Amino acid sequence: MQPKYNKSIDFLQIFNSCVGEIHVCLQQKPAAASSAAPEEATDSRPLPPGWRSYTSPEGMKYYVNSSSKETTWRRPSLSAEAPQRPLAPNNSSPYANGCHSGTKTGRPAETADVALRKPTVNKQINCVTFPLPGEGPEQQLLKPNEWSYCDYFWTDKKDPQGTNSVAGFEVLLQKQLKGKQMQKEMAEFIHERIKIEEEYAKNLSKLSLSPLALQEEGTLGEAWTQLKKSLHDEAEVHLKFSNKLHTEVEKPLLTFRGDNFKKDLKKYDHHIADLRKQLASRYAGVEKARKALADRQKDLEVKTQQLEIKLSNKTEEDIKKARRKSTQAGDDLMRCVDLYNQTQSKWFEEMVTTSMELEKLEVERIEWIQQHLRQYTTLRHETDMFNQSMVEPVDQLLQNVDPGKDRELWVKENKTGEVRPVDMDI
């Protein structure tokens, strides 16, 4: 299968890779059975050491080497040949980035020595492990130039009071809650506008029914009647406006994302928080194991010195025993670190997927609001246009006003007699 480079697929690759990587971390479990599952399902032949295969949401298989940070769409063969074609240009490959599983598998004795020889090159903040500044490979953003939520909220931050710290994820949740509130307040605002329009319409149509100047006659009377009627028509326009505002703007803004939305956010919240708690306890386990190992190694040293002083089979036995226990402690520490890294990777995975879900939700919210505020302006324009057309018949009849015609009509109806008086004869 050929790798895809086009823009649309670019993030998919990166994201799949993350998920892959996360699985890599998960693979560190001593019981590696489940980890092997996806690969075995399709191909019985084992992958070269360090390689694992994953399936993208589209069902495409791709391969990750967690030590060399290589990714490829082509199945690596056992005869570990020249570096595979990378899944994405190296600078955008998450495998130059964080959450790599740097754990080496090896024989217990070595491990014990390693634990003594190698200082840790990372620091923990609130039980999350970050690379020391300048240490480790440089990290590229998961979604460069996108200002994606999944790239900027890894650290906890002190809350305004600076007393206890807030997880970066909380900041994302706050944004969501605020967005929901804004949407609700916009609906309220539109509702207020609706009430104003209804009041205006009520007053206009009430006035249009007033009997004022009802007895005006002739062409002027007709124009006046139409002018009064036009207020009723205007009222209708504003009533239509308020009705449409209700169904086409207020309601959509109000009902967009019901109460489930907040429940969903809580679920996300608890899920991520639980993982952080788990991470803390795993971290405590690591610390405990690290101390135990140190004690064991100290004990082994003492016993070795005693051996040098006076030879006895008794001591020989003790040293063997001490070394066994030290080796055991090394294995314990290794297991605890693995467990810790698995949990951190799980949290990492959830952080990426969930923050990108929240990002999607925010884009939807903004587009939804934009769409319905546009509807608002469309309705406003309509209203002005309709209103204008309500005045035209009045203009028409005002043009037809004709004092001569009105006099004729009135005189015909009210004349008393057109025979003029004449002189009286004698």
Tell me which residue of 15, 13, 61, 14 sits closest to 37, measured CA to CA: 61
Residue 385 makes contact with a second copy by CB under 8 A: yes
CB of 49 to a second copy, least distance (A): 18
Cβ–Cβ < 8 Å for 54, 69 = no
- Chain centre to alpha carbon of residue 225: 59
CB of 153 to a second copy, least distance (A): 5
Residue that is written with structure tokens 């609001």 in the block: 369
Nearer to a second copy, 321 or 407 (CB): 407
In the region spanning residues 152 to 181, those forming contacts with a second copy, defined by CB under 8 A, are 152-157, 168, 171, 175, 178
CB of 288 to a second copy, least distance (A): 14
> Looking at 182, 209, 273, 284, which residue binds a second copy (CB under 8 A)?
182
Residue 344 makes contact with a second copy by CB under 8 A: yes
Exposure class string for 337-355: b at 16+ Cβ within 10 A, else e: bbbbbbbbbbbbbbbbebb
From 84-92, 240-248, 297-305, 331-339, give the range in contact with a second copy by CB under 8 A.
331-339
Tell me which residue of 35, 54, 16 sits closest to 105, measured CA to CA: 35
Residue 8 makes contact with a second copy by CB under 8 A: no
Query: Who's near 74: CB < 8 A, 6+ residues apart?
Result: 1, 63, 84, 85
Q: How many residues bind a second copy (CB under 8 A)?
A: 115
- According to DSSP, the β-strands at 165-166 and 157-158 are antiparallel
Residue 291 makes contact with a second copy by CB under 8 A: no
CB of 377 to a second copy, least distance (A): 5
Tell me which residue of 349, 281, 280, 283 sits closest to 120, measured CA to CA: 283
Distance CA 411, CA 421 (A): 19
User: What SS3 state is found at 157?
Assistant: strand
> Looking at 245, 341, 354, 356, which residue binds a second copy (CB under 8 A)?
341
Cβ–Cβ < 8 Å for 378, 249 = no
CA angle 409/410/412 to nearest 5° reads 70
Query: What x-and-dash track marks residues 191-220 binding a second copy by CB under 8 A?
Result: -xx--x--xx--xx--x--x-xx-xx---x
From 3-11, 50-58, 99-107, 266-274, give the range in contact with a second copy by CB under 8 A.
99-107
CA Rg, the chain, in Å?
Answer: 41
Residue 316 makes contact with a second copy by CB under 8 A: no
> Looking at 10, 151, 222, 269, which residue binds a second copy (CB under 8 A)?
151
CB of 57 to a second copy, least distance (A): 21
Residue 30 makes contact with a second copy by CB under 8 A: no
In the region spanning residues 36 to 55, those forming contacts with a second copy, defined by CB under 8 A, are none
With residue 131 as reference, give the H or E element that holds it: strand 128-131
Cβ–Cβ < 8 Å for 122, 130 = yes
Residue 114 makes contact with a second copy by CB under 8 A: yes
Cβ–Cβ < 8 Å for 161, 113 = no
Cβ–Cβ < 8 Å for 156, 167 = yes
Residue 300 makes contact with a second copy by CB under 8 A: no
In the region spanning residues 60 to 89, those forming contacts with a second copy, defined by CB under 8 A, are none
Residue 320 makes contact with a second copy by CB under 8 A: no
CB of 294 to a second copy, least distance (A): 12
> Looking at 186, 265, 275, 292, which residue binds a second copy (CB under 8 A)?
186
